[in-house]
Chains A and B, each alone.
Chain A
Amino acid sequence: MNKNIDTKKIIISNPLKLDCGKEINNFPIAYETYGELNSEKSNAILVFHALTGDQYVSGKNPITNKDGWWSYVVGENKPIDTNKFFVICANVIGGCMGSYGPSTINESTGKQIGTDFPIITINDMVNAQYELIKYLEIEKLFAVVGGSMGGMQVLQFVANFPDKAKLAIPIACTSSHSAQNIAFNELGRQAIMADSKWENGFYSNYKLNPDKGLAVARMAAHITYLSEKGLQEKFGRKLQDRDSLRYGFEADFQIESYLRYQGSVFVDRFDANSYLYITRAMDYFDLSKQYKENLSNAFKETKTKFFVISFTSDWLYPTSENREIVIALNSIGADVGFVEIESDKGHDSFLLDVPSFLKTLGDYINSTYKVINERRI
């Protein structure tokens, strides 16, 4: 979004063949790292971000001036302790934080690529990030970790590169986007495309921004990240800065005001076209279809250890869908642990302060790191 981001970036010169058939080359990948890579290069963790995330996992995000999106999990003395681990996170292709995406300037025209950008998939995102791992000369990652769309990338990464990670932790995700997931994404896309300022995706040429549509998309999506119980407890029917109803369409209720706020801050940091492209990539994600309708086949070649985590109140990527990943792994005798964490914070639980999640994740990563290092795998 912000065209003057001073972000770490590499240019990938190797051509990357996309699932849509097109090929891209000399494209940028923006990334951030935390902690130090040890001399054996055995402490690297690649974190994949979710739909609206970016490379700024921890510390202050220089664009938003807010805490990094996974500050509860990654940082000094956090579950993924950057005193100990070298954490890498890249902006996905299709994104708007410096990696190749629809808001990238086409050098020949001097304009944003807009909807001339090719359709990308989770597979393409992962293949692009693998180029970064090669650039950093890391032969084998200790772990690949991510929640939601980040979890999908974890699954795809292990399927594509079965011997490149010792541990994989997909959190609150699915191996295949459900009809309900696609439906919500489509709602968001239609909201953007219905905004007259979208201009078929070339809004920047007219110095426009479909911010109304993007805000509505974000508002709708935000509801899916929470739980009914959480919403009721936090907002109920409480009124916003007023004692009684105003008999109009202003934000009478706190929940309305909250959603409007979420929508308005989102448009300042996110590109509408990126929202279209990334939600499309999620909808197209169907890992078992890639492997002859059998999810287990995706993991047949790997010795990677898995730890799958879901949350009780997550209805966007419910436990049943996370369990399917566990079942597919068990059916081929893969090394997989699984727990459903009790939380009423909905899908967003993986981003929030959920102590039993943070403790289990941190303890598991640290004890596994110890065990694996002792065994010198």
Chain B
Amino acid sequence: MKEEFNIISNLIEENTRVLDVGCGNGDLMKFLQENKTKDIRGLEISKEKVQNCLSKGLTVIEGNAESDLKQFPKSSFDYVILSQTLQAFLNPELVINELLKVGKKVIVTIPNFGYWRVRLQLLFKGTMPVTENLPHEWYNTPNLHMCTIKDFYNFCSTKNIKIFKSIALKKSRISEINESNLNYKNLDSHLGIFLIES
């Protein structure tokens, strides 16, 4: 968690305007508020989590990214963050498009379904993978559209989305992803972090 926050924070310039989509209990928002910028908002679907955020004095709106991002004007945020939430949407493509409208730049982090530990579980156990990063069983997972680092990388190039920076995380080891090491990073990382622009 901490590593992911650090990487995201390093991608963001100081005193910019940030929206955290699917902000949960506001941990990332708090972290960025202390380290980068005061001007940060959140959008969260769970009432309970929204209340937790508001209790901390964070500016958070209860809402659904799939329907409620529309209300923000075009390019109204310098950065929009979607941390480990993309896979939970009914229509991830639509959400990415909305994010790219609202934000000048978008930071997307994805739990990598191509990580070797995940692959091994399906290959050898023959069951849907359950890992530290993906703790749910198939019958109660909120994750509808799991993807791999490679999937997202390819998605961006198919849809002409510019990737400014792509970072792979394994435990606390950080490395850059590029065309030539994509297959390896896709196998050896549990999390992918992308800084993109339309």
Closest Cβ of chain B to A265, distance in Å, is: 34
Asked, given contacts A339-B47, A339-B54, whether A331 binds B71 with beta carbons under 8 Å apart, the answer is yes
**Also in contact, A335 and B51, with CB within 8 A (given A327-B71, A375-B38):** no
Closest residue to A371 on the B side, CB-wise?
B57
In Å, the complex CA distance between A356 and B73 comes to 31
Which stretch from B59-67, B138-146, B184-192 is at the chain A interface?
A: B59-67
| A305 to B41 alpha-carbon distance, docked (Å) | 12
Whether a CB of chain A sits under 8 angstroms from the CB of B178 is no
Q: Chain A residues with Cβ under 8 A from B51's Cβ?
A: 339, 341, 356, 359-360
Q: Closest Cβ of chain B: how far from A128's Cβ, in Å?
A: 31
A338 to B76, CA, bound (A): 18
Q: Which A residues lie within 8 Å of B63 (CB)? A: 338
Hey, which chain B residues are within 8 Å of A182, CB to CB?
A: none
Tell me whether A339 and B62 are in contact (CB under 8 A): yes
Q: Is the CB of A368 within 8 A of B57?
A: yes
B33 (CB) vs chain A CBs: closest residue: A371
CA A333 to CA B38, docked complex, whole Å:
15
With contacts A327-B71, A333-B73 known, is A338 near B61, CB below 8 A? yes
Q: Mask for A330-342, Cβ within 8 A of B = 1, else 0?
A: 1111011111111
Instruction: Find chain A residues with CB under 8 A from B72 CB.
Output: 330-331, 333
Tell me the bound Cα distance from A337 to B51 in angstroms: 10
- Contact digits for B24-57, partner A, Cβ 8 Å, 1 yes 0 no: 0000000000000010010000010011011111
- A367 an interface residue at 8 Å Cβ cutoff? yes
B71 with A330: CB separation less than 8 A = yes
How many contacting A-B pairs (Cβ < 8 A)? 63
User: What is the bound-complex CA distance between A330 and B50, given in angstroms?
Assistant: 17
Which residues does chain B contribute within 8 Å of A363, judged by CB atoms? 54-57
Determine the chain B residues whose CB is within 8 A of the CB of A340 once the complex forms: 47, 62
- B contacts with A: majority SS: mixed
Tell yes or no: A326 within 8 A of B by CB: yes
Report yes or no: A367 in contact with B76, Cβ–Cβ below 8 A.
no
| B47 touching A326, Cβ below 8 Å | no
Once the chains bind, are B73 and A364 in contact (CB under 8 Å)? no
A338 to B41, CA, bound (A): 11
Q: Is the CB of B38 within 8 A of A364?
A: no
Contacts of A34 in B (CB 8 A): none
- A338: chain B residues within 8 A (beta carbon): 50, 60-63
In the complex, chain A residues whose CB is within 8 Å of the CB of B57: 363-364, 366-368, 370-371
A339-B54, A360-B54, A364-B54 known; A330+B61 contact, CB < 8 A:
yes
Chain B residue with the shortest CB-CB distance to A307: B54
Write the chain B residue with the least CB distance to A375. B38
CA distance A305 to B60 in the complex (A): 12
Complex Cα gap A337–B62 (Å): 8
Asked if residues A305 and B47 are in contact (CB atoms below 8 Å), the reply is: no
B67 nearest CB across to chain A (Å): 11
The residues of B that contact A332 with a CB separation of less than 8 Å are: 73
CB pair B76–A337 under 8 Å, yes or no, is: no
- Tell me the complex Cα distance, A360–B51, Å: 6
Chain B contacts with A in 62-86, Cβ cutoff 8 A: 62-63, 71-73, 76
What are the interface flags for A342-377 relative to B under an 8 Å C-beta threshold, 1 for contact and 0 otherwise?
Answer: 100000000000001001100110111011000100
Which of B59, B73, B76 makes the CB contact (< 8 A) with A305? B59
Check A367–B62 contact: CB distance below 8 A. Answer: no
Min CB distance, B8 to chain A, in Å?
22
The 6 closest A-B pairs by CB, nearest first: A367-B57, A363-B55, A327-B71, A338-B61, A360-B51, A330-B71
A-B contacts, 19 of them at CB < 8 A, read A307-B54, A326-B61, A330-B71, A332-B73, A337-B53, A337-B54, A338-B61, A338-B63, A339-B47, A339-B50, A339-B62, A341-B47, A341-B51, A360-B51, A360-B54, A363-B54, A363-B55, A363-B57, A368-B57
